[in-house]
């Protein structure tokens, strides 16, 4: 197989980063990205893009840690390069505060982020309702810039990108040798995965350029994440809600909760409300599968279900998916050489 043809379904964070990894690990592949939406209209564009991992209940911790470490290392290098501003990647320091003691004193990612330590008493005094806290420095990927930067890198490798709604993976069998499923929430319909469910998140993106530190409540519901141009205020975690319409009462509630952590936000301007649906599962599905229909085989690599933690693990899962694509190619090359005998 001279030039395996790989179709990547999905052009959000996972689709684009997986496509890029495939071009890196398999330069002879011809990669095409197919999606009904591209940045700035993907679900990923709504997210703040903070590298603070979400813990998947059914994925082994060492695997999550490896994914996070690879992602952090990759983005750290970009943040330190001349490309940082174009890619929208930047370091940000801040605090995670808890009203009641956190489940773990040292989360699995504490030695990967920079300078992780408990907050001092003087720092905690800024948060009279909270009694514990962690201070650290991490990375933030602003979207759309990061997704647009990934698209630019892909185009430079000759990767084609088409707006196309894929209804069924089998429709790709004729034109492609391998299909990579990065359809996020779309996988529910595309491959009939009943384990996948949305967790609705509403956020406000505001103009408050004096906010230089992130503040996050350990309950994951209230957060202030300063981006390049806007500060993301959040949020909600509504399990099972498919609604993409902003809710005015929720907006008010998010704003109030964030102002109680950072009163100067009262002066925030230009409030934009956005809604995203986190494609959630008990574990991230990074897996190889061979679909079979009437004697015809279709190798598929799945990479979806990143829920609330997509940005934190994207490069790690993309690497793993690219590796699985490599395995598919070996199998195909093995069987095609057997066919030649």
Binding residue positions for FAD: 166
CB of 187 to another protein, least distance (A): 33
Number of Cβ atoms within 10 Å of the Cβ of 129 = 9
* Residue 144 backbone phi and psi in degrees, to 5: -70, -20
CB of 122 to another protein, least distance (A): 6
Residue 178 in contact with residue 18, Cβ under 8 Å? Answer: no
Task: Choose which of 40, 209, 243, 256 interacts with another protein (CB under 8 A).
Answer: 209
User: Of 213 and 290, which CB lies nearer to another protein in the complex structure?
Assistant: 213
User: Of 51 and 161, which CB lies nearer to another protein in the complex structure?
Assistant: 51
110 is a contact residue toward another protein (CB under 8 A): no
Alpha helix ranges (H) inside 49-203: 61-79, 84-87, 121-124, 145-156, 187-190
93 is a contact residue toward another protein (CB under 8 A): yes
Task: Choose which of 3, 85, 330, 333 interacts with another protein (CB under 8 A).
Answer: 85
Sign, Cα dihedral of 204, 209, 210, 214:
positive
Mark 142-171 with x for binding to another protein (rule: CB under 8 A) and - for no binding. Answer: x-----------------------------
23 by Cβ neighbours in 10 Å (0-12 / 13-18 / 19+) ranks as buried
CB of 257 to another protein, least distance (A): 15
88 is a contact residue toward another protein (CB under 8 A): yes
- Of 209, 197, 261, 269, nearest to 234 by C-alpha is 261
DSSP letters, 320-341, are HHHHHHHHHHHHHHHHHHHHH-
> Interface with another protein by CB under 8 A: which range of 100-108, 146-154, 221-229, 241-249?
221-229
Task: Choose which of 264, 282, 330, 337 interacts with another protein (CB under 8 A).
Answer: 264
Task: Choose which of 14, 92, 150, 324 interacts with another protein (CB under 8 A).
Answer: 92
Q: How far apart are the first and last CA of the chain?
A: 15
Q: Exposed e or buried b for every residue in 153-175, given b needs 16+ CB within 10 A? A: bbeeeebebeeeebeebeebbee
Give the 3-state secondary structure of residue 295.
coil
User: Of 22 and 78, which CB lies nearer to another protein in the complex structure?
Assistant: 78
User: Of 140 and 285, which CB lies nearer to another protein in the complex structure?
Assistant: 140
Task: Choose which of 101, 210, 242, 327 interacts with another protein (CB under 8 A).
Answer: 210
- Of 18, 299, 146, 150, nearest to 10 by C-alpha is 18
> Interface with another protein by CB under 8 A: which range of 31-39, 113-121, 284-292, 321-329?
113-121
Task: Choose which of 66, 69, 84, 291 interacts with another protein (CB under 8 A).
Answer: 84
- What would the two tokens of residue 216 be? 């996050």
Residues in the site for another protein, rule: CB under 8 A? Answer: 79-86, 88-94, 114-115, 117, 119-120, 122-123, 126, 135, 137, 142, 209-213, 226, 228-229, 263-264, 266-267
């Amino acid at each position: 197989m001279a030039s395996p043809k790989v179709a990547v379904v999905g052009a959000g964070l996972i689709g684009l980063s997986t496509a890029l990894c495939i071009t890196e690990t398999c330069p002879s592949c011809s990669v095409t990205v197919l999606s009904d939406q591209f940045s700035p209209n993907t679900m990923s564009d709504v997210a703040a893009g903070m590298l603070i991992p979400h813990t998947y209940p059914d994925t082994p911790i060492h695997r999550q840690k490896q994914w996070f470490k690879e992602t952090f290392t990759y983005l750290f290098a970009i943040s330190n390069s001349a490309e940082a501003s174009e890619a929208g990647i930047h370091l940000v320091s801040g605090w995670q505060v808890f009203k009641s003691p956190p489940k773990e004193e040292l989360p699995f990612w504490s030695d990967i982020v920079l300078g992780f330590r408990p907050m001092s008493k003087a720092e905690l005094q800024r948060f009279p309702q909270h009694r514990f806290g962690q201070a650290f420095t991490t990375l933030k990927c602003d979207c759309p810039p990061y997704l647009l930067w990934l698209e630019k890198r892909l185009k430079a490798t000759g990767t084609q990108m088409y707006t196309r709604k894929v209804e069924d993976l089998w429709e790709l069998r004729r034109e492609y040798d391998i299909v990579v499923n990065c359809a996020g929430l779309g996988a529910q319909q595309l491959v009939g995965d009943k384990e996948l469910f949305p967790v609705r998140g509403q956020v406000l993106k505001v103009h408050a350029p004096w906010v230089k530190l992130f503040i996050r409540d350990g309950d994951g519901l209230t957060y202030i994440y300063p981006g390049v141009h806007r500060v993301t205020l959040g949020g909600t975690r509504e399990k099972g809600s498919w609604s993409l319409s902003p809710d005015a009462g929720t907006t008010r509630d998010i704003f109030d909760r964030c102002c109680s952590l950072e009163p100067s936000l009262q002066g925030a301007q230009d409030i934009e409300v956005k809604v995203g649906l986190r494609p959630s599962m008990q574990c991230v599905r990074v897996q190889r599968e061979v679909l079979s229909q009437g004697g015809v085989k279709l190798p598929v690599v799945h990479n979806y279900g990143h829920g609330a933690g997509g940005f934190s693990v994207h490069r790690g899962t993309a690497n793993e998916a690219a590796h699985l694509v490599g395995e598919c190619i070996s199998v195909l090359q093995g069987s095609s050489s057997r066919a030649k005998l």
